[in-house]
C-alpha cells in the first residue's frame, strides 16, 4: 500500500494509535474501581493508570516532534510516497485484544494469550509452538509473581 499523504507514516500513525489505545486503557482501568484498596494496598488498575500517566505525555511529545520533522522535511525536499508498515498496527491490535480479554477473562489467561501471540508474531517461521506455550506460561508466571508478591497488586 502506497502512502500519498506525508502525515500518514508510521512516525505519525504509531504514536496516534498508541494514544488512542492508552485512552481506551485508561477508561478500562478507571472503570475497574479505585486505585487503592483499604489499607493502602494498590488495586489491579494501579499499574495501567500509572502507565498512562507516563506514556501519554511521551506519546504526545513523539507525535508532535515527528509532525514538526515531517513538515520540515516536506518543505525542504517535497514528499516522496512510501509504503505503510503493518507491524505497528498488528501489535496495537494484539494489545487491544489483551485489554478486552483482561476485562472479560481476567489477568492470567489474558496475559498468557498476549505473551503467546507476541512470541508467535516475532518468530519469522512458525516453529515450536509447544515451546512457545511453555515460554508464555513461564513469562506469565513471572509477571504474576512480580505483580502479586513484589508490587502487592491483587487481581
Q: Which residue has the cell 519469522?
A: 124
Q: Give the pLDDT confidence score for residue 119 in this predicted structure.
A: 84
Q: Residue 121: pLDDT above 90?
A: no
Q: Where are the chain's structural domains?
A: 1-85, 106-155
* pTM to 2 decimal places: 0.50
pLDDT digits (tens, 9 = 90+) for 86-118: 676 777 777 778 877 877 888 888 889 888 888
Alpha helices in 42-128 (DSSP H): 46-77, 87-105, 107-121
Cβ partners under 8 Å of residue 153, min gap 6:
42, 43, 44, 46, 47, 147
Confidence of residue 138 (pLDDT cuts 50, 70, 90): very high
Amino acid at each position: 500500500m502506497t502512502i500519498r499523504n506525508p502525515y500518514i507514516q508510521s512516525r505519525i500513525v504509531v504514536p496516534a494509535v498508541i494514544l488512542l489505545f492508552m485512552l481506551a486503557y485508561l477508561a478500562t482501568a478507571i472503570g475497574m474501581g479505585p486505585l487503592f484498596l483499604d489499607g493502602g494496598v494498590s488495586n489491579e488498575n494501579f499499574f495501567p493508570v500509572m502507565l498512562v500517566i507516563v506514556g501519554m505525555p511521551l506519546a504526545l511529545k513523539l507525535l508532535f516532534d515527528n509532525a514538526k520533522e515531517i513538515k520540515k522535511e516536506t518543505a525542504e525536499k517535497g514528499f516522496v510516497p512510501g509504503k505503510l508498515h503493518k507491524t505497528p498496527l498488528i501489535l496495537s491490535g494484539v494489545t487491544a485484544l489483551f485489554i478486552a480479554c483482561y476485562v472479560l477473562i481476567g489477568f492470567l489467561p489474558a496475559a498468557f494469550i498476549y505473551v503467546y501471540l507476541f512470541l508467535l508474531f516475532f518468530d519469522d517461521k512458525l516453529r515450536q509452538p509447544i515451546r512457545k506455550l511453555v515460554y508464555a506460561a513461564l513469562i506469565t508466571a513471572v509477571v504474576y509473581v512480580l505483580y502479586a508478591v513484589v508490587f502487592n497488586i491483587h487481581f
